[in-house]
Amino acid sequence: MLYSSYEADQALMNTGPKKVILTLFLLFLAFIPLQMVEGIPDLIPGFDFLGNNDWLKLLSTACIFAIGALGLNVLTGLAGQVSLGHAFFMGLGAYTAAWLGAAPGPLAGIGLPMWIWLPAAGVVAAIVGVAVGPTAVRVRGLYLAFVTLGLVFVGEYIFRNWSTLTGGSQSGRTFPDFELRLWKEETPLVDFANDGTWFGVALSGEAKTYYLLVFLLVVFVLLAKNLQRTRAGRAFQSIRDRDIAAEIMGVNEFKYKLTAFGISSFYAGVAGALLASFVGRTIPERWDLFLSVQFIAIVLIGGAGVVTGTLLGSVFVITLPRIVQDFTGWLTEYVTEGNGVFVWLADLLVVTGEGDFGLINVQQGIGSGLSVSILNQVLYGLLIIGFLIFEPLGLYGIWLRIRNYWKGWPFTY
């Protein structure tokens, strides 16, 4: 592709095929909830199941995690700073949203509208991130990972004991709904949480929430993509690649590391507020180390430093537990029926009753083997190790291999 200007080279959609693919993909996302609406024909053949409320919830969760992972990608993928404290900043955002957005009651709440509590969740997390940043960014590598890891445990202790705000350990609290109001009027302008009609189309609350989260994800993706093209984005990448050389060339390493920390914290705070409001009620233990590990898995599996890779990793990591659950359910039925050539192999994989031995135990409290939840954690670890060793660019790297193969076909050498 020949470019005649820097503007054309740096454009977000600098080729015709990219524009076509993006348009088709956005139409695909828009049509997903319409699959189950009566009176509307099948718009995406073969993907009817995505219109179910269960899958809409899963896709909505993937959108929220993608927003949070975009922030971690700025810090880890662009600036090269390893962080395990993402869950802490998500918790800050969640409880900021609860304090500002929840109605007054036994627990702290002011009852402000969503257009206040949602950005405020990101701002508060960013302020705390910048406040603790000077300590964190003075170290690097594993030392930075340990510092941010400490934030998770400190935050978990604070969240458990600040019961007037968080509801306390094992109790939790409710969070504000996705409702758009001008101020505190009783009837919202737009209700994203409950069933209703939009433009003559009857939509479920899950579908309306999905549209809201897809819109927010598009906004944050545009911000992240544009950040890479700015002076700050180029400074992040220079620090990641050669920090000493970048500083010699005039890049203020401390300033830009702190900026990356603040931007990452902002994304995490917004994602935490969205996740808490989407779930509706959660406990302080929700913001733990495993949540941070999930985001590390998203960035590494998808492809660090690439927005597209972050989106791919988010969908993969969030849908993986559902795929594992459905697959183990199918294996259990296959073994129970006892008809098939590979029944013996399936029986080695799943536990179907007391006294049976297998790798995966779908019978709670009966037999040996890994539960589905533990299996998911094991898979996260194995996938991180596998991608780091065999495909450092993650899923995005696999896509590049496929794309380059077909671009050069049949002369692939």
Over residues 220-240, the pLDDT tens digits come to 999 999 998 889 999 999 998
Strand 179-180 and strand 281-282: the pairing is: unpaired
Query: What is the model's pLDDT at position 58?
Result: 94
pLDDT band at 412 (very low <50, low <70, confident <90, very high): low
Residue 198 tokens read as 């939009």
324 occurs within a structural domain: yes
Question: Which residue carries 């899950």 as its tokens?
Answer: 206
385 occurs within a structural domain: yes
Say whether both 278 and 312 belong to one domain. no
Give the residue numbers spanning the domain of 406: 306-413
Taking CA 134 as the corner, what is the angle to CA 128 and CA 137, rounded to the nearest 5 degrees? 110
Query: What is the model's pLDDT at position 400?
Result: 86
81 occurs within a structural domain: yes
310 occurs within a structural domain: yes
34 occurs within a structural domain: no
Q: Which of 240, 235, 286 is nearest to 77 (CA)?
A: 240
* CB count in 10 Å sphere of residue 150: 15
pLDDT band at 338 (very low <50, low <70, confident <90, very high): confident
pLDDT band at 375 (very low <50, low <70, confident <90, very high): confident
Say whether both 136 and 252 belong to one domain. yes
Query: What is the model's pLDDT at position 75?
Result: 93
Question: Which residue carries 């450092």 as its tokens?
Answer: 392
Query: What is the model's pLDDT at position 35?
Result: 81
Say whether both 106 and 188 belong to one domain. yes
Instruction: Please state the separation of Cα 337 from the chain's center in Å.
Output: 38
Q: What value does the mean pLDDT take over residues 297-301?
A: 92
Among 288, 316, 344, give the residue marking a domain's end. 288
CA-to-CA distance for 202 and 224, rounded, in angstroms? Answer: 33
- DSSP calls for 146-163: HHHHHHHHHHHHHHHH-H
Say whether both 237 and 334 belong to one domain. no
Say whether both 273 and 367 belong to one domain. no
Q: Which of 150, 174, 400, 181 is nearest to 278 (CA)?
A: 174
15 occurs within a structural domain: no
Q: What's the per-residue H, E or C state across 334-397? A: HHHHCCCCCHHHHHHHEECCCCCCCCEECCCCCCCCECHHHHHHHHHHHHHHHHHHHCCCHHHH
pLDDT band at 345 (very low <50, low <70, confident <90, very high): confident
412 or 322, which is more confident:
322
Query: What is the model's pLDDT at position 273?
Result: 97
* Sign of CA pseudo-dihedral 31, 35, 38, 43: positive
Strand 201-203 and strand 196-198: the pairing is: antiparallel
The torsion of the CA quartet 112, 118, 123, 126, rounded to 10 degrees, works out to 140
Q: CB of 57 within 8 A of CB of 72?
A: no
Q: ω into residue 410 within 30 of 0, thus cis?
A: yes
pLDDT band at 2 (very low <50, low <70, confident <90, very high): low
pLDDT band at 132 (very low <50, low <70, confident <90, very high): confident
Instruction: Please state the separation of Cα 347 from the chain's center in Å.
Output: 34
384 occurs within a structural domain: yes
Q: Which three-class secondary structure state does DSSP give residue 174?
A: strand
* Model confidence pLDDT, tens digit, residues 83-126: 899 999 999 999 999 999 999 888 999 999 999 999 999 999 99
Say whether both 101 and 240 belong to one domain. yes
Query: What is the model's pLDDT at position 315?
Result: 94
Say whether both 215 and 326 belong to one domain. no
Q: What are φ and ψ of residue 372, in 5° steps?
A: -65, -40
Q: CB of 124 within 8 A of CB of 276?
A: no
Say whether both 269 and 379 belong to one domain. no
Q: CB of 35 within 8 A of CB of 44?
A: yes
Among 262, 288, 314, give the residue marking a domain's end. 288
Strand (E) or helix (H) holding 196: strand 196-198
Among 234, 259, 288, give the residue marking a domain's end. 288
Say whether both 279 and 395 belong to one domain. no
Say whether both 73 and 190 belong to one domain. yes
* Model confidence pLDDT, tens digit, residues 36-82: 777 677 778 878 888 888 999 999 999 999 999 999 999 999 998 88
4 or 285, which is more confident:
285
Say whether both 284 and 312 belong to one domain. no
Q: For the chain, how many helices (H) and strands (E)?
A: 16, 8
pLDDT band at 313 (very low <50, low <70, confident <90, very high): very high
Query: What is the model's pLDDT at position 379?
Result: 85
Q: What value does the mean pLDDT take over residues 317-323?
A: 90
Domain count, the chain: 2
* Model confidence pLDDT, tens digit, residues 146-194: 888 999 999 999 999 999 999 988 888 999 999 999 998 888 999 998 8
Q: Which three-class secondary structure state does DSSP give residue 171?
A: coil
Say whether both 186 and 318 belong to one domain. no
Q: Which amino acid is it at 50?
A: L
Residue 34 has pLDDT above 90, yes or no: no
Query: What is the model's pLDDT at position 381?
Result: 84
CA-to-CA distance for 178 and 161, rounded, in angstroms? Answer: 27
Residue 1 has pLDDT above 70, yes or no: no
CA-to-CA distance for 47 and 37, rounded, in angstroms? Answer: 14
Global confidence as pTM: 0.92
CA-to-CA distance for 350 and 331, rounded, in angstroms? Answer: 7
Query: What is the model's pLDDT at position 226?
Result: 92
Q: What value does the mean pLDDT take over residues 294-305?
A: 92
Residue 402 has pLDDT above 70, yes or no: yes
Q: Which of 246, 224, 248 is nearest to 237 (CA)?
A: 246
Question: Which residue carries 């969740």 as its tokens?
Answer: 121
- DSSP calls for 285-327: GGSSHHHHHHHHHHHHHH-TT-HHHHHHHHHHHHHHHHHHHHH
Residue-averaged pLDDT of the chain: 87
Q: What percent of the chain has pLDDT over 90?
A: 48
Question: In 325-393, which ranges are E strands?
Answer: 350-351, 360-361
* Model confidence pLDDT, tens digit, residues 277-290: 999 999 999 999 99
377 occurs within a structural domain: yes
